[in-house]
Amino acid sequence: MGRKFKAPRGTFDVLPAEGLRRRELIRLTAEVLGRAGYESIATPVFEDTELFARGVGASSEIVQKEMFTFSDPGGRSLTLRPEGTAGICRAYVEAGMHKLPQPVKLLYLGPFFRHEAPQAGRFRQFHQVGIEAIGSDEPSLDAEAILLLEELLASAGASGLRLRLSSLGGPESRRAYVEELRAWLRARSDELPEALRARVEANPMRAFDAKDERTRAVMSEAPTLLERLADDDAEHFSEVRSLLDGAGLEYRLDPTLVRGLDYYTRTVFEFESDQLGAQSGVGGGGRYDGLVEELGGPRAPGVGWAAGIERILLASDARGPDVVPPVFVALEDGSSAGAREGFLLARDLRTRGLSAQMEQSGRSLKGQLKHADRLGARWVAIVAGEEIRVRDMASGDQRAAATRAEALDLVLAGAAR
Ligand code: HAM
């Protein structure tokens, strides 16, 4: 016997039953984001490894531990994209999109890869939907992006949502603050667990992420970046907040919100759902005013977010869309003339916009009717010698048609009712 294979750890197949809900979510995404002027972009699933080291940040957990990196046969180091923003900013620079009317509003959807320990809601290949608005630092873009994510999550049926919001300020105020925090933490290093000390030395803000009680108690007294924002950053943030307040969106100001990517400046946010377990983040993002320049482009501030498709689906109990019930074309006898007639009838029905399938498995008529029932067919057209009997499965009514055209009309008339 041949060896049986399994999908690699942390990956999964999207089987047809789940596919329908996904398709509906994708349709919704294009609709909600399209209304705000976001247009589709697709970038490669692998990029130059250096792009992520520079874009996402060499000291970030993602770059240090979670990337699927490989050498191609030409010896170049490539990496399966762990996130989308770096690749899109690369494309913005490469295609000279700064020459277009700004901001450029982009929408993307696809697979992403992180070598994390798999658990509920956390995979090694997952899917994100995301937006990036590049080329403007208007606070209205930040607020609009947050409201769009909220609208998408709500219309997808996600429940138990909470929004955390903060600002990281610009690089100057952050640098000064990080120094202050580092000194503050050094003075309390004997209160911190050994393992944390080195990490905190490299990036003191990570200490806000710590899960252990002792560190959390220490950090609850630490100075926060929100209290140290430079005037223009504070003003920007206050405008974002007032737009969100005006729109009636509830959020929790959370100065400890540290996102796992190093490119953020100013606004950062994250939606969580209490429908999810430990991996409660459904979607998040923020502003990245220096990233395009970091990647060799002109000054082009941007803001965006990404949300996990799997997590949105986990957080929502919405069923798939109502599917138009199909017509099933049954064959009373096994004649090839009947099968040809049935084949053409199913095709005619489809070209008229109905969904239609025919018998293709040699079942008995009884078996075919059972199968039609399983498919949820609203009509069954039984090709029987010279006539075609059209049965309405809901009422049980049956009418005979002498020609294929007549059978088509009977179904169409029924469908129009
Ligand atoms: P992120 O917070 O790293 O942000 O990821 C966004 C979303 O992707 C998460 O909220 C989560 O729903 C989903 N996600 C992340 N990792 C996994 C995983 N291992 N398994 C399942 N789902 C996962 C970013 O990626 C930024 N690029 C967002 C952004 C866009 N910021 C600005 N623009």
Q: 271-324, pLDDT tens digit by residue? A: 999 988 888 899 999 999 999 999 999 999 999 999 999 999 999 976 666 667
Alpha-carbon gap, residue 264 to 288, rounded angstroms: 5
Ligand 1 centre distance from Cα of residue 284 (Å): 7
Alpha-carbon gap, residue 122 to 92, rounded angstroms: 29
Pocket around ligand 1: residues whose beta carbon is below 6 Å from it?
83-85, 114, 116, 122-123, 126, 128, 130, 132, 260-261, 281-286, 304-308, 310-311
Q: Which residue has the higher pLDDT, 190 or 406?
A: 406
Query: Which amino acid, one-letter code, is at 334?
Result: G
Atom of ligand 1 nearest to the CA of 288: 32
The DSSP H or E segment spanning 232 is helix 231-246
**pLDDT for the residue 320:** 67
Protein residue with its CA nearest to atom 2 in ligand 1? 284
Atom of ligand 1 nearest to the CA of 312: 12
Give 109's strand partners: 129
Q: Which residue has the higher pLDDT, 318 or 206?
A: 206
Atom of ligand 1 nearest to the CA of 311: 12
Residue 387 burial by Cβ neighbours in a 10 Å radius (0-12, 13-18, 19+): middle
Atom of ligand 1 nearest to the CA of 122: 20
Residues 6+ apart with CB under 8 A from 182: 200, 201, 204
What is the percentage of the chain residues whose pLDDT exceeds 70?
A: 99
Which residue shows structure tokens 């996904």?
22
Name the residue of 128, 163, 292, 305 whose CB sits within 8 Å of the most ligand 1 atoms, as the mutation to test its pocket: 128
Ligand 1 centre distance from Cα of residue 232 (Å): 28
**pLDDT for the residue 318:** 67
Binned at pLDDT 50, 70 and 90, residue 206 comes out as confident
Ligand 1 centre distance from Cα of residue 355 (Å): 37
Ligand 1 centre distance from Cα of residue 202 (Å): 23
How far separated are the first and last CA of the chain, in Å rounded?
A: 55
Q: Which residue has the higher pLDDT, 307 or 415?
A: 307
Q: 44-79, pLDDT tens digit by residue? A: 999 999 999 999 998 888 999 999 999 999 999 999
Protein residue with its CA nearest to atom 30 in ligand 1? 305
**pLDDT for the residue 342:** 97
Protein residue with its CA nearest to atom 21 in ligand 1? 122
Task: Measure Cα distances from 382 to 332, 393, 403 in Å.
Answer: 6, 12, 12
Return the CA Rg of the chain. Answer: 28
Ligand 1 centre distance from Cα of residue 288 (Å): 15
Does the pTM of the predicted model rise above 0.85? yes
156 has a pLDDT exceeding 90: yes
**pLDDT for the residue 322:** 65
Residues 161-189, mean pLDDT to the nearest whole number: 92
Residue 352 exposure: Cα atoms within 13 Å on the Cβ side = 20
Alpha-carbon gap, residue 66 to 202, rounded angstroms: 18
Atom of ligand 1 nearest to the CA of 85: 27
Residues 332-346, mean pLDDT to the nearest whole number: 95
As given in the structure block, the two tokens for residue 90 are: 């690369």
Ligand 1 centre distance from Cα of residue 43 (Å): 16
With contact defined as beta carbons under 8 Å apart, do 108 and 40 qualify? yes
Q: Of 87-91, 256-260, 409-413, which range is least confident?
A: 256-260
Q: 114-142, pLDDT tens digit by residue? A: 999 999 999 999 999 999 999 999 999 99
